[in-house]
């Protein structure tokens, strides 16, 4: 068969970078970059380091190891590397229909909103080429399924396309019961199309049930483990994924994302030491990959891991290590790829968290955007984190004019996000606005209105949950509400709110401290002692220098002996 004349154009669009072997010195000790892409030649070194899959269908036999490696990379959301490997299959076998499918799958990130739409044009061109080559019935069905994401993308929103894709994958899953990959990708489609407002987690539980059955016979499949974690990445469900979270990094030790992903569950359960180790490994792996690939700057996975790492350090009261990470982050300017949310988010969230968690209001009020290649106007939601932090800092400094200015900016950003069709992120900003408005009412001696606005923020936060790339809110809305209740001398109500907060956000440093203070003010010294003791245990290993620790020690000495 003659290769379509436009194939070289598409392969040119799909960038192929070189990367070489690198041995990670941090436990676990994976051979990180297990592929060499040298002069366009793909050399497999240790593909088992990314897990075990087998799914090449009608591709040439000689390309199947490469295809399976590409699929393993895709299952661990190593999207760029998966794309390169699938392209290598096309270089060797231009008639491999499933390699076109693989590239199309690699450029759709189904679990989160992609603001840059250029990938849709690229995928559409690729699938047009794939439509002209011979293919079997099942291959055609797979290509038709992923094609739903690219068809009429300028007319049909992403949520609707995700739902249509899920229905298409369900048909494939039911038609080919022996096809385990169909089951895995159907399970992922269920998770991607889940209604964020559905607190019964119907889709997630159905997906999890499918995956757990598959996991029995395929215990080293990276996608099964990965998607179980995503399905149960909620406070109410996280305990169901803990055994899997503790296995995933060993299934795919060469994947930086596989080292990081377990920390989602560790974070939901307040297992800070495990989260810290997970993200140290992930960041180290990412640095190793960037060095081995001769990348100009840093890989985005490193920044993503650092965001979770700082969050975990702060929950142990470990400002020393959190600040060290931030100082290091200040030296990072060039990140690849530069246009994804996983970069802008930690650049905004890390300094904001450090300032807000430590109540450094002057720092919060004057927070500046990180100087990097990030085009902040492309990331209004991430930008909102900084403006929200400035507003909260200004409020506590009683600079109400500055707080109102930041509130106006937040409203503008919210509208921009909404205009782009991302209502979930727009509502995240609306929650921030209600918190700021609530405190403005409070300081204007309208306490009932302030409490009402914060309760609205809590209700919205419960419905929306946390964004998939975040370890959690900068500060949970319930902590703001409880703080306000304490300020109006309602410690019993504040304690109830703090305790509810800890059931959703377990072992948060400020949450435990707030509960202790509320119990103390209410006169429940037994509960106050318990929470202060919990705080001391949390901060013990880090030798925290936070003043709350000193207060806890003094209280325990006075009331416990």
Q: Give the Cα separation of 262 and 526 in Å (integer).
A: 35
Using an 8 Å Cβ cutoff, are 350 and 307 in contact? yes
Query: Comparing 7-315 with 334-559, is the CATH topology the same?
Result: yes
Taking the C-alpha atoms of residue 487 and residue 476, their distance in angstroms, rounded to an integer, is 17
Specify the fold of 7-315.
1.25.40
Measured N-to-C along each axis, helices 222-231 and 64-75 cross at an angle, to the nearest 10 degrees, of 20
Q: pLDDT tens digits, the chain, 561 residues: what are they?
A: 333 333 333 333 333 333 333 333 333 333 323 333 322 333 333 445 899 998 866 788 888 889 999 999 999 998 888 999 999 999 999 999 999 999 999 998 887 766 667 778 888 888 999 999 999 999 999 999 999 988 887 788 888 999 999 999 999 999 999 999 999 999 999 999 999 889 999 999 999 999 999 999 999 999 999 999 999 999 999 999 999 999 999 999 989 999 999 999 999 999 999 999 999 999 998 898 888 778 888 988 999 999 999 999 999 999 999 999 999 999 998 888 766 666 789 999 999 999 999 999 999 999 998 877 678 888 999 999 999 999 999 999 999 999 999 999 999 999 999 998 888 899 999 999 999 999 999 999 999 999 999 999 999 999 988 877 789 999 999 999 999 999 999 999 999 999 999 999 999 999 999 999 999 999 999 999 999 999 999 998 778 989 999 999 999 999 876
* Length of the chain as a residue count: 561
Domain ranges, ordered by start, for the chain:
7-315, 334-559
Structure confidence at residue 26 (pLDDT): 35
CATH number of 334-559: 1.25.40.10
pLDDT at 41: 35
According to the model, what pLDDT value does residue 370 have?
84
Contacts of 178 (CB under 8 A, 6+ apart): none
DSSP for residue 194:
-
The values of phi and psi at residue 294, to 5°, are 55, 40
Catalogue the E-assigned strands of 305-348: 335-336
Q: How distant, in Å, are the alpha carbons of 48, 168, 170, 266, 306 from that of 212?
A: 21, 22, 17, 19, 30
* Pick from 142, 50, 52, 51: nearest CA to 96: 142
Backbone angles phi, psi at 81, to 5 degrees: -70, -40
Residue whose token pair is 């982050």:
329
What is the rounded CA–CA span in Å between residue 218 and residue 224? Answer: 8
Terminal alpha carbon distance of the chain = 85
Report the DSSP beta bridge partners of residue 31.
Answer: 23
């Amino acid at each position: 068969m003659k290769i379509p004349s436009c194939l070289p154009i598409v392969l040119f669009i799909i960038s192929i970078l070189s990367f070489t072997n690198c041995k990670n010195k941090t436990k676990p000790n994976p051979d990180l970059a297990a592929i060499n892409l040298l002069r366009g030649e793909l050399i497999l070194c240790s593909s088992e380091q990314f897990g075990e899959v087998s799914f090449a269908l009608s591709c040439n036999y000689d390309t199947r190891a490469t295809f399976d490696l590409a699929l393993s990379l895709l299952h661990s959301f190593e999207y760029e590397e998966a794309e390169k490997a699938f392209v290598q299959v096309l270089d060797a076998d231009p008639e491999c229909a499933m390699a076109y499918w693989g590239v199309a799958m690699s450029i759709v990130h189904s679990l989160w909103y992609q603001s840059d739409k250029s990938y849709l044009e690229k995928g559409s061109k690729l699938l047009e080429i794939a439509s002209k080559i011979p293919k079997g019935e099942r291959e055609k069905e797979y290509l038709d399924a992923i094609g739903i994401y690219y068809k009429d993308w300028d007319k049909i929103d992403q949520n609707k396309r995700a739902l249509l894709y899920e229905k298409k994958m369900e048909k494939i899953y039911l038609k080919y019961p022996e096809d385990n990959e169909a089951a895995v990708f159907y399970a992922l489609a269920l998770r991607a199309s889940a209604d964020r407002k559905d607190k019964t987690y119907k889709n997630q539980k159905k997906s999890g049930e499918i995956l757990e059955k598959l996991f029995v016979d395929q215990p080293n499949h990276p996608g099964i483990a990965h998607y179980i974690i995503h399905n149960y990445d909620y406070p109410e469900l996280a305990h169901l994924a803990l055994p899997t979270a503790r296995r995933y990094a060993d299934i795919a030790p060469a994947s930086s994302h596989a080292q990081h992903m377990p920390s989602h569950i560790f974070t939901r359960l307040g297992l800070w030491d495990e989260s810290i180790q997970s993200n140290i490994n992930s960041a180290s792996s990412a640095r190793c990959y960037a060095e081995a690939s001769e990348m100009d700057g840093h890989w985005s996975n490193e920044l993503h891991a650092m965001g979770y790492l700082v969050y975990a350090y702060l929950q142990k009261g470990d400002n020393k290590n959190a600040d060290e990470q931030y100082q290091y982050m200040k030296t990072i300017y060039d990140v690849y790829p530069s246009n994804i949310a996983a970069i802008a988010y930690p650049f905004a969230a890390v300094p904001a968290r450090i300032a807000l968690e430590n109540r450094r209001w002057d720092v919060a009020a004057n927070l500046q955007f990180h100087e990097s290649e990030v085009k902040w106007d492309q990331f209004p939601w991430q930008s909102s984190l900084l403006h929200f932090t400035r507003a909260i800092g200004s409020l506590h400094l009683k600079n109400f004019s500055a707080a109102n200015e930041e509130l106006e900016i937040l409203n503008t950003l919210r509208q921009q996000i909404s205009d782009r069709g991302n209502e979930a992120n727009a509502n995240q900003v609306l929650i921030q606005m209600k918190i700021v408005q609530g405190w403005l009412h409070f300081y204007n001696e309208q306490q009932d209105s302030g409490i009402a606005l914060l309760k609205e923020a809590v209700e919205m936060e419960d419905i929306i949950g946390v964004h998939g790339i975040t370890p959690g809110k900068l500060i949970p809305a319930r902590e703001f509400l409880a703080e306000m209740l304490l300020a109006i001398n309602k410690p019993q109500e504040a304690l109830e709110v703090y305790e509810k907060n800890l059931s959703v956000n377990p072992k948060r440093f400020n949450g435990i401290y707030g509960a202790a203070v509320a119990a103390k003010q209410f006169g429940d010294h037994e509960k106050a002692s318990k929470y202060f003791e919990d705080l001391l245990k949390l901060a013990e290993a880090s030798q925290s220098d936070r003043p709350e620790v000193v207060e806890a020690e003094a209280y325990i000495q006075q009331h416990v002996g």
